[in-house]
Amino acid sequence: MRNHHFSNISLSTFMCVGGVAGGAALTNKLGGSDAALSFVKFGTCMMLALLTIQVIFAIKSQSRALYLIVFNIAFASGIVCFLLCLILPIFWIPTIDASIKIFLSIISVGLWSINVLKGVKIFDLKWASAGQELLARFYRRKEGEIDWDGLSGALRMSVSVYLPGVSQKLNSVLSFLIAVSMLAGLALRNVFPIYSVFSWGIPIIIVISIFAQMMGFGVAQFLKIGALEREQGVFIRPK
């Protein structure tokens, strides 16, 4: 396992543990100790599953670049896991109606899925303009090696807040509103605890969508290098 893989896994572990602990404290405050214990069990299982995947693909990534991409996706998922733990307590609060929870779930999954597809589209556009040139620089066909981290970095992909139907020109305004809403939620957590959950929960859902774009980059990379392997008839190793 490479040093930066170990560092990334350690960072993921730290974030996930912090997320589960923070989510449990919030759940205990709003739903009681039994709800908090249930949340801890769920969060721990989610964390262990994610970290297991990261370790497996960190080891396998030394033999195949495709696995390196899966590891990168799993690392981004670690950040998402941390953020999820700050909004999942909503589902352990009995006073929140089930219909609201279902609606919030549908909206969240829909927004994240759209942003994954947005990330795929961004990658495809970047690849169409510079992909072949970068392959010539970073892929050594005879050795069957590719510097995929270098190649993906050279594509200069960037993420931004993307809400369907909302102009990208309003990104600065959205970012400001997200920050204000989260600060308001934190300030009112003792006076209006249920309101505060939504006040910072909804902005976190939007923030997760940004990381969903990053995961979309990973999905597109996985498909691209998989197609390259089929074309070359070999398994490509990372450099």
AA letter at 62 = Q
Look at residues 35, 51, 6, 41 and name the one whose alpha carbon lies nearest to residue 20.
Answer: 41
Q: Is 238 helix (H, G, I), strand (E, B) or coil?
A: strand
Look at residues 213, 220, 237, 229 and name the one whose alpha carbon lies nearest to residue 126.
Answer: 220
183 or 151, which is more confident?
A: 151
Look at residues 2, 12, 87 and name the one whose alpha carbon lies nearest to residue 48.
Answer: 12
AA letter at 205 = I
Cα separation, 105 vs 58, whole angstroms: 31
Q: Can you read off the two tokens belonging to residue 89? A: 């307590």
Look at residues 205, 164, 200 and name the one whose alpha carbon lies nearest to residue 179.
Answer: 200
The answer to whether 115 and 51 have CB atoms below 8 angstroms apart is no
Record the pTM.
0.87
Instruction: Looking at mean pLDDT, say which of 35-44, 178-187, 189-198 comes out highest.
Output: 35-44
| 81-140 pLDDT per residue, tens | 999 998 898 898 888 888 888 888 999 999 999 999 999 999 999 999 998 898 889 998
Calculate the alpha carbon distances from 126 to 17, 67, 220, 228 in Å. 36, 22, 11, 17
Average pLDDT, the chain: 87
Neighbours of 92 (CB within 10 A): 23
| 16-62 pLDDT per residue, tens | 999 999 899 888 888 888 999 999 999 999 999 999 999 999 999 88
The length of the chain in residues reads 239
Q: Residue for token digits 């050594």?
A: 140
